[in-house]
Amino acid sequence: MRSLSLRLYGAVTWLIQPFVRRKLRRRAVAEPGYAVAVEERFGHYPTTPAGTDWCWIHAVSLGEARAAAILIDELRRQAPGIRLLLTHGTATGR
């Protein structure tokens, strides 16, 4: 069973999504890159690889995306057949 704090976190996160989405839309007016792949920022991706092992890596910023490259190289070396999905939280991380 999930702890009370985890359920509370999930509820609050769900409740504030409309406000966060509105903020992203406003920012996209000034910086169009913020309108790209908004759902990835909320942990949603349209399709996931089926029928094979896969690893989803979510990098929030450009720095994390660059750091993830080291992890990705090692994953490819140790598990050559694994499918990798890299998502980003900011426009610069793309």
Name residues whose C-beta falls within 8 Å of residue 85's C-beta, 6 or more positions apart in sequence: 45, 48, 49, 54, 55, 56, 57
| Tens digit of each residue's pLDDT (9 = 90 or more) over 15-51 | 999 998 898 888 888 888 777 777 777 777 777 667 7
> Mean of the pLDDT values across residues 77-91?
84
Report whether pLDDT(89) > 90: no
Instruction: Give pLDDT, residue 12.
Output: 93
Predicted TM-score (pTM) of the model is: 0.59
The residue with greater pLDDT, 52 or 63, is: 63
Name residues whose C-beta falls within 8 Å of residue 24's C-beta, 6 or more positions apart in sequence: 34, 35, 38, 41
- Both structure tokens of 66: 């660059």
- Both structure tokens of 22: 């509105």
